[in-house]
Amino acid sequence: MKKVLTCIVAAAVLMVLSGASMAAVGWSGNIWPVHGTSVTEGADVGVYYQVWKEGVTEGEGAGAGLATTLFYGPNGGPYTSLAMGYIGEVGNNDEYSANIPALALEGNSELWFYCEVYDSTDASTAQGQDQNSNDPPFVLNITASLGQDVMVYFRICLAPDGDPDYDPTPGDVCVVGDAAELTAWGAGVPMVQPCPGHSPLYYEVGILFAAGGNPAIQYKYKKNDCVNWESVGNRMDTIDDTGPTYIIPWVDHWNNYVGDDCPLCGIGTEESTWGAIKKIHN
């Protein structure tokens, strides 16, 4: 999840290179996109990579003597190499980025990539894992884009009383994800409580996804006025664009708590007790 992961404490994940001394790169990784991410043709794919070297990457600016490279191509190669540019600091790590060009995706069902750092002080190299701790190389699945505008509905139940994650004052709740419609891991889209008196833990929102976009989405939720994230991994789904409306076919549970759905009363009225009550009175 780009830009929201807690910075990894490099000393805790120290990768010892063969014959390395304190001059060597200590750690590299946190690569985005993760292995198995779906992308569509027609747009570049931004790749992000972090590097830590003790006494070198802690300050502002790119660490001296370090150079990073993005490699992409078919599984097994040949790979095309592309120099990555320094874009800023993430804690004590230097972050680099480069774009896999849209042309490389055309006519393919998948594309493989990995990132590598070169340390000129000892001529060593290292490759990093992605943000899900997968080892390189990583595959990008290339899918068809959305054929029409689709209104997508997200639904979540916050943890109930008695659960360790129960929060009696959750404030505003948002859904946020990798798509532009989901603010690209930014502030998030505020959700609503369609019946707070009947089901105070139930939130939902409909978001319009534009034709031509990527049907494969990754997302999570935030609460406490859209500040605090879930601690689970990214949620994933693929938008069905055979109709103008798509309801994600399950109700998410905050931090995947184990238990029943809270009473539904919005988009899911057909499957809720409250919906049955409303039908009786109609």
183 and 203 co-located in one domain:
yes
251 and 172 co-located in one domain:
yes
User: d(Cα 246, Cα 19) in Å, to the nearest integer?
Assistant: 55
Question: What pLDDT was estimated at residue 49?
Answer: 98
65 and 183 co-located in one domain:
no
Question: What pLDDT was estimated at residue 2?
Answer: 53
DSSP classification of residue 145 = P
Question: What pLDDT was estimated at residue 22?
Answer: 44
Is 203 strand, coil or helix?
strand
User: d(Cα 188, Cα 70) in Å, to the nearest integer?
Assistant: 30
CB-CB contact of 38 with 143 (8 Å): yes
**Torsion (CA) 180, 94, 69, 65 in degrees, nearest 10:** 160
Question: What pLDDT was estimated at residue 267?
Answer: 80
98 and 162 co-located in one domain:
no
User: d(Cα 48, Cα 185) in Å, to the nearest integer?
Assistant: 14
159 and 272 co-located in one domain:
yes
Task: Give the closest residue to 31 by CA, choosing from 138, 145, 185.
Answer: 138
165 and 236 co-located in one domain:
yes
Decide which of 116, 143, 170 is a domain's last residue: 143
What is the pLDDT confidence band of residue 250, given thresholds at 50, 70 and 90? very high
pTM: 0.67
| pLDDT exceeds 50 at position 144 | yes
120 and 42 co-located in one domain:
yes
Q: Which amino acid is at 104?
A: A
What is the pLDDT confidence band of residue 23, given thresholds at 50, 70 and 90? low
| pLDDT exceeds 60 at position 278 | no
Residues 6+ apart with CB under 8 A from 213: 40, 145, 146, 179, 180, 181
Question: What pLDDT was estimated at residue 1?
Answer: 52
**Residue 42's CATH number:** 2.60.40.650
Task: Give the closest residue to 158 by CA, choosing from 216, 201, 117.
Answer: 201
Token duo for residue 202: 């139930």
Q: Which amino acid is at 222?
A: K
Question: What pLDDT was estimated at residue 279?
Answer: 35
121 and 191 co-located in one domain:
no
Beta-strand relationship, 27-32 and 45-52: antiparallel
130 and 159 co-located in one domain:
no
**Residue 228's CATH number:** 2.60.40.10
41 and 92 co-located in one domain:
yes
Decide which of 117, 143, 169 is a domain's last residue: 143
Greatest CA separation for the chain: 77
Domain count, the chain: 2
| pLDDT exceeds 90 at position 6 | no
In this predicted model, what pLDDT tens digit does every residue of 190-238 receive, in sequence order?
999 999 999 999 999 999 999 999 999 999 999 999 999 999 989 999 9
Task: Give the closest residue to 26 by CA, choosing from 65, 56, 54.
Answer: 54
179 and 276 co-located in one domain:
yes
DSSP classification of residue 257 = -
Residue at 137 is within a domain:
yes
61-72 mean pLDDT = 97
Q: Is the peptide bond before 164 cis (omega within 30 degrees of 0)?
A: no
Kindly report the average pLDDT of the chain as a whole number.
88
What is the pLDDT confidence band of residue 111, given thresholds at 50, 70 and 90? very high
Domain carrying residue 63? 10-143
Question: What pLDDT was estimated at residue 175?
Answer: 98
